[in-house]
Amino acid sequence: ALWNEIPVIVKTFSHKISARRHLSREIKGLTQLQKRGLNSANPLFYGRVGDGRWAVVIQKIVNSATVLKEFTEKTEKHKILDLLMQVCRELAKQHSKGVVQKDLHLGNFLQAEDQIYILDPGQMQFFSQQVPKTKSLSQLALLVCCLPADDTTSAEALYKEYFKTRGWRFQPTDKSLLSRQLLLHREKGIRHGL
């Protein structure tokens, strides 16, 4: 929609019991992301609208597409890896600023002009310090699940990029932990699919 001549996205919450709580979580998330200097949409309004529903209005990030859409449309392996590298760096940045996405998938990232933005702030956890290594690597493995299981070269490139962005040294024990996490996430995905 347009709001005061600005392209916007309007998200409404209409569940009778939990709408206000969901709105509150969304606004808290947007505020935390901005406070921590992470790429996210700007909130312009939140509250009750004319029909009684709760809503949040955020500035639309123009000329953008979800990373999932970009990922599925790309066919060249190096372009897919470049896209995932961008997401990987953004994920590392989130973790270094104490942010965890509880619903981590490519549809919750937006790409616009070589920038990656985070979507769905209502599904995030915020901590006063950096995300611990074990939790960070579990989320990294979840991102790597996007790659074909036999593409170990790209997986290792993503691991190294993440570690470089976090300022960590990539150790053989880290590779072992990541392999176990990757296997767990793949098995969980298969069970969920079945």
What is the DSSP track for 93-135?
Answer: HHHHTTEEETT-SGGGEEEETTEEEE--GGGEEE-SSPPPHHH
pLDDT value at residue 193: 79
Evaluate whether 88 touches 143 at the Cβ level (below 8 Å).
yes
pLDDT value at residue 165: 96
pLDDT value at residue 194: 80
pLDDT value at residue 118: 92
Provide the strand spans (E) within the chain: 2-3, 6-13, 43-48, 54-59, 65-66, 99-101, 109-112, 115-118, 124-126
CA distance 27 to 21: 10
Half-sphere exposure of 126 (CA within 13 A, CB side): 15
Ranges under pLDDT 70 in the chain:
none
CA distance 175 to 193: 27
Write out the two tokens for 2: 């347009």
Evaluate whether 89 touches 95 at the Cβ level (below 8 Å).
no
pLDDT value at residue 157: 93
